[in-house]
A and B are shown apart, each in its own frame.
Chain A
């Protein structure tokens, strides 16, 4: 089992729709969770961090964490073509290293 798993996609949504990205992790003691966006040919850019169970909203982005289910998700409301990118889920484990999922490629169609 991979430490951090994501559906590789591609996930395609129409402009204005909600994009839902999911991530599961195996290390039950993980405490910190992050979502990064990576445009093609660029480096990952941090867009959200979440540490407690529940929802965290930042503009059009909402991160959701359920530690009991070892599940993290990212919702993007009112998706725009500029949101088309690969989204990486990252989990900081008990020994403080950050492990990444393989990423989900999102395409938002005008």
Chain B
């Protein structure tokens, strides 16, 4: 069974640009969560999608948005990039709302 797949693995963007990250969950998993990880702040929860609906949202500005498609793949978009958005972005999938989450390898975003 394939694991959680995130693309791309690495990105370099310029301040003010926007970026879209993709996450394909484990087959059969309907829940996808996104996290931002930085050395100073640790793992910060961005949002969670379940069956194409956003179920939970963390405390991030509206520049961070996401969506989920009918095949459970999810995308995360960050607009008007700032230097502070440089981080490892991780997605995690679960097969229901009540089980363990499994992480993808992450997308490392660098904003210059």
Contacts and interface: CB of A to CB of B under 8 A. Distances in A.
Q: Which size bracket describes the interface of B in this complex? A: 20 to 34
Q: Which size bracket describes the interface of A in this complex? A: 20 to 34
Interface string B22-45: 000000000001010000011101
A8 B5 CA distance: 29
B83 interface: no
B101 A46 contact: yes
A92 B56 CA distance: 12
B105 interface: yes
B42 A102 contact: yes
Contacts of B92: 98
A46 B94 CA distance: 12
Given A43-B90, A44-B90, A99 B45 contact: yes
Interface of A: 32, 34, 36, 42-46, 49, 88, 90, 92, 95-103
